[in-house]
Structure 1
Amino acid sequence: MTQLSRRAALALPAALALPALARAQSAATEITVHYAQPNIYKESYDAILAGFNKREPGIRVNFVTTPNYEEGAQLLLRQAATNQLPDLSYQGFNRLRMFAERGVAQDLLPLLKQEAADPATLGYSENLLKLAYFGNMQAGLAYAASNPICYYNADLVKRAGGDPDNFPKDWDGVLALAAKIDALGDGVDGLWYTWNGDDWMFSALLFGHGGRMLNENETDVAFAGPEGMASLKLLERMVKQAGMPNLTAVAARQAFAAGKIGMLFQTTALVRGTAAAVGNNFVLRTTGMPVIDAERGRLPTGGAAGMLTAKDPAKRAAAMKFLRYSTGPEGQAMMVKASGYLPCNQIAIDDPQYLGEFYRENPLFVASVKQLPISIPWYAFPGTNSVRVTQTMVDNMARIVESRATPEQVLPEMAAEIRRLLPRRS
């Protein structure tokens, strides 16, 4: 009978375990997860993936990214046509409707109710669910929410004679201060407003005036009236009165971080990245968007929601687990701390163990939280041309920023172009 040495005997259990480990690894469920804007989101998704891997070692996640929401939507439209969809996609709120109406998104409510009869007990309050409810179904679960805020250079505000502790509350005051900053010279500009990219920041002006994109039955544009005209005139004043330069978003953020722009109006999602870029160059502050209509004024809620697209049962279950973790209280706390977005899980919001101390220690993140009472969902255009509608708005705003046309010329032409892109109603 063959005798084993003591060392060999001790090594035997580990050796026997290796094939089992290999089998377990090979049996891991592999899923593909898409998200947009890695320049903003990567840190949060990486943190969530690390936490998820510890909880679900049998699921392997492969990320696919696109530079922005629009390219993310176009990617999924192409992949849907060739049956090559990812298993889970985080889409901008305003694109979920299109995927719900096309049958690409899956209804998540039955899956949530398998865990709890009332999704609110999982942190998905009614208002949070509404952010991703389209096509008479729960087309997604909100992952990150944002509203537009103002970032300002406290040093330039002081140099221009302003008070950083008493920043103007209305656009007249903001533009007057921006004009003084612009007059400082030395290549300094007064402000930059994120007008390019999509329709979100235009809707911030439109909703701020109490306007809306389409009429109630969505048969015609509703922005072609006084509220839309006032919004475009305000954009024109930013250029003519406050010296807003014609820059890309990337160039504007770089100039602001270098101390060459006094105010930057953009999503709260960029708080973390902006603070890192500014460093010690100057004292950075944030505040809410100026009030336009105190009673009717609202702000759009930007951000993304996870949309389930997997058809294979095992991948579908695995993708749902990742989605639940990323939108659960633990994942949401990671997301907020890594970005600047607002949390989309009520437990993360209410339970101080997740974010209470964080907000006390990070005042730059608080401006967006204070605007939650006037934040409404980002409008999603009906039909298959929603991406083209957005680009039409951007192209027409460019005419004003580049001083190629007046608001009086742009508004009726923009309305006519978008009317042609709306679904035909019988």
Structure 2
Amino acid sequence: MTKLTRRAALALPAALAMPALARAQGRTEITVHYAQPFIYKDSYDALVEGFAKQEPGIRLNFVTTPNYEEGAQLLLRQAATRQLPDLSYQAYTRLRMFAERGIAQDLTPLLKAEAADPAALGYTPNLLALSQFGGIQAGLAYAASNPVCYYNADLVRRAGGDPENFPKDWEGVLALAAKIDALGDGIDGMWFTWSGDDWMFSALLFGHGGTMLNADESDVAFNGPEGMQSLKLLERMVKQAGMPNLTAVAARQAFAAGKLGMIFQTTALVRGTVSSVGSNFDLRTTGVPVIDPVKGRLPTGGAAGMLTAKDPAKREAAWKFLRYSTSAEGQAMMVKATGYLPCNQISIDDPQYLGAFYRDNPLFLASVKQIPISIPWYAFPGSNSVRVTQVMVDNMARIVESKATPEQAMADMADGVRKLLPRRS
């Protein structure tokens, strides 16, 4: 066997020498990608600290993207140039694309190697189902969310409402938002997250009992009565409740400043919203109304860790961090740093992890109460899922900007999405 001397190692190009030296020193470096650092960074910082105590020989290098869409595009480019990170936390709605392209590795063998029944590790069937696509376990759920309503109880009182009895249907919500909007002084009634992706449109569509595509996924189904009523509701938010045409960042800033009565967005932003609001006003949270009391559902957002490492040592290290981040301990860290729902049943059931936290932080409970009506965020088939999302967002923008009627926007949305679906023989 030929030994690599220190002098010979130093003579090698850096790209060749460094891995050898790292292994000689017993340290493995892996690259981890995640999106939305404005939400997730604190949770990953906490994980790094805890993980270092268990695995001091593994060094983590992070790469971030502003949102899930850019994260998906980044990995598609890196897959083409064989420069993938070792682990990537992707939105559930994008995992299907990576599974179908063979980029996401099947985690089933790794899970079975640790326990005959993954539920013993906290991975119950319903939690595993969030990341099952293409016939494989394409990831492990790291964070789950559903949409909630954040409201300014002080403005609700000024408008004649009762913060203790916030409206539970959209008619009541719109009426209250209109009263808050009428207060003047630069105050707007409400803002509903319509930009970025199709998640909040899903909340309206699923709340009406609708679906995105038909049963065999050969054609759109969101253009039925449920989808049309959803777009008409979006229009009413603008015309009746005075919803301003703001970016998500601007809307959150307006809400924190006390200039917005209510904002509908992901529960993942609870921690950040509490911090930004401070003592400006009495902040409350509540659930999102669903229209159909029997069929009405809400989409589950969030992200799952997807393993992509090829090198055996890096793959083992990436798997260890993925397991730690989705363990009961890791999930407790994630929940406390964000507002997301836990994705490990042990952290949910065992009071030592989150029992006291939920008791002392009632603003986090709105999303927990909606778990029974939450279903997976729909993942479009084929390689055009990111473009599909953009078509939907662009057409919702036309309604918010009063440039198209719901009927016009729906026709164009359905036609645009239909063209991007995989061709059927």
- TM-score scaled by structure 2? 0.95
Kindly indicate whether residue 30 of structure 2 is the aligned counterpart of residue 56 of structure 1. Answer: no
Q: TM-score, normalised by structure 1?
A: 0.94
Cα displacement string for residues 285-314 of structure 1 (whole angstroms, at most 9, x for unaligned residues): 000001311000000000000000000011
Whole-angstrom CA distance in 2 between matches of 1:23 and 1:80: 25
Question: Which letter maps to 1:169?
Answer: K
Instruction: Quote the residue 1:379 is aligned against.
Output: 378
Paired residue secondary structure (1:127): helix
Determine if contact 2:284/2:363 at 8 Å carries over to the other structure.
yes
Q: Which moved more, 1:25-34 or 1:99-108?
A: 25-34
1:236 offset after TM fit, Å? Answer: 0.1
Counterpart of 1:44 in structure 2 is 43
- SS of residue paired to 1:186: coil
The residue number in structure 2 matching 1:392 is 391
Say if 1:214 and 1:223, in contact at 8 Å, map to a contact too: yes
Aligned residues: 405
Structure-1 separation of matches of 2:145 and 2:296: 17
- The ranges of structure 1 where at least 4 consecutive aligned residues each deviate by more than 6 angstroms after the TM superposition are 22-25
Q: Please show how residues 217-232 of structure 1 align to structure 2 within 5 Å.
A: 217-232=216-231
The answer to whether the 8 A contact 1:152-1:264 is kept is: yes
Q: How far apart in 1 are the matches of 2:109 and 2:31?
A: 22
Whichever residue aligns with residue 339 of structure 1, its letter is T
- One-letter amino acid of the structure 2 residue matched with residue 128 of structure 1: L
Cα deviation code 1:248-302 (max 9, x no counterpart): 0000000000000000000000000001000000000000001311000000000
TM-aligned CA deviation for residue 238 of structure 1: 0.2
Measured in 2, the distance between the counterparts of 1:316 and 1:377 equals 28
Amino acid at match of 2:295: R
Task: Write the mapping of 1:294-373 to structure 2, written as runs, cut at 5 A.
Answer: 294-373=293-372
Q: Which runs of 5+ in 2 are unaligned?
A: 1-20
Three-state SS of the structure 2 residue aligned to 1:192 is strand
Given residue 422 of structure 2, which amino acid in structure 1 is its aligned partner? P
- AA matched with 1:355: L
SS of aligned partner of 1:52 = helix
Residue aligning to 1:153: 152
- State the AA in 1 paired with 2:86: D
**Paired letter, 2:287:** G
Per the alignment, residue 291 of structure 2 pairs with 292
Query: Which structure 2 residues correspond to residues 20-39 of structure 1 after superposition, within 5 A?
Result: 26-39=25-38
Deviation at 1:67, TM superposition (A): 0.2
Distance, in Å, in 2 between the alignment partners of 1:335 and 1:409 is: 42
Displacement after TM superposition at 1:413 (Å): 1.3
Question: Which secondary structure does the structure 1 equivalent of 2:243 belong to?
Answer: coil
Matched residue SS, 1:353: helix
CA 1:348–1:408 in structure 2 vs 1: closer, same or farther (change >3 Å)? same
Match of 1:19 in 2: none
Quote the sequence identity (%).
81
- Map Cα deviations across residues 307-361 of structure 1 (whole Å, 9 max, x no partner): 0000001100000000000000000000000000000000000000000000000
In the alignment, residue 301 of structure 1 is paired with which amino acid? T
Instruction: Measure, in 2, the Cα distance between the counterparts of 1:24 and 1:250.
Output: 44
Would the aligned equivalents of 2:96 and 2:379 in 1 still touch at CA under 8 Å?
A: yes
Residues 24, 74 of structure 1: alpha-carbon distance in 2 compared, 3 angstrom cutoff: closer
- The 3-state SS of whatever aligns with 1:411 is helix
How far the C-alpha of 1:177 sits from its partner, in A, is 0.2
1:175 maps to 174
**Amino acid across the alignment from 2:380:** F
Please tell me whether the aligned partners of residues 24 and 58 of structure 1 are also in contact (alpha carbons under 8 angstroms).
no
Secondary structure at the aligned position of 2:186 is classed as coil
For 1:408 and 1:105, locate their aligned partners in 2 and report how far apart those are by CA, in whole Å. Answer: 39
Distance 2:37 2:88 in 1: 13
Structure 1 residues 69-110: Cα deviation after superposition (integer angstroms, max 9, x where no partner)? 000000000000000000000000000000000000000011
Alpha-carbon distance between aligned partners in 2 of 1:32 and 1:370, rounded to the nearest angstrom: 36
Distance, in Å, in 2 between the alignment partners of 1:313 and 1:144 is 27
Deviation at 1:27, TM superposition (A): 2.8
CA distance in 2, matches of 1:380, 1:367: 25
1:227-249 Cα distance to aligned partner (Å, 9 max, x none):
00000000000000000000000
User: For residue 143 of structure 2, what is the amino acid of its counterpart?
Assistant: A
Q: SS of the residue aligned with 1:151?
A: strand
Contact 1:25 1:58 in 2 (8 A): no
Paired amino acid for 1:189: D
Q: Which runs of 5+ in 1 are unaligned?
A: 1-21
Give the conservation status (yes or no) of the 8 Å contact 2:204–2:290. no
Matched, 1:191 2:190: yes
Q: 1:26 Cα shift?
A: 3.1
State the distance in 2 between where 1:264 and 1:229 align: 22
| 1:94 matched residue in structure 2 | 93
Q: CA offset at residue 25 of structure 1?
A: 7.9
CA contact (8 A) 2:94 2:379 kept: yes
CA distance in 1, matches of 2:364, 2:286: 9
AA partner of residue 137 (structure 1):
I
1:409 aligned residue? 408
Contact residue 209 and residue 292 of structure 1 kept, 8 A: yes
Aligned amino acid, residue 124 of structure 1: Y
The structure number with the bigger radius of gyration is 1
Distance 1:212 1:119 in 2: 30
Q: Which amino acid aligns with 2:290?
A: V
Q: In 2, distance between residues paired with 1:276 and 1:23?
A: 40
Determine the structure 1 residue equivalent to 2:82.
Answer: 83
Alpha-carbon distance, 1:23 to partner: 7.8
Query: What root-mean-square deviation, in Å, do the aligned CA atoms of Structure 1 and Structure 2 show?
Result: 0.9
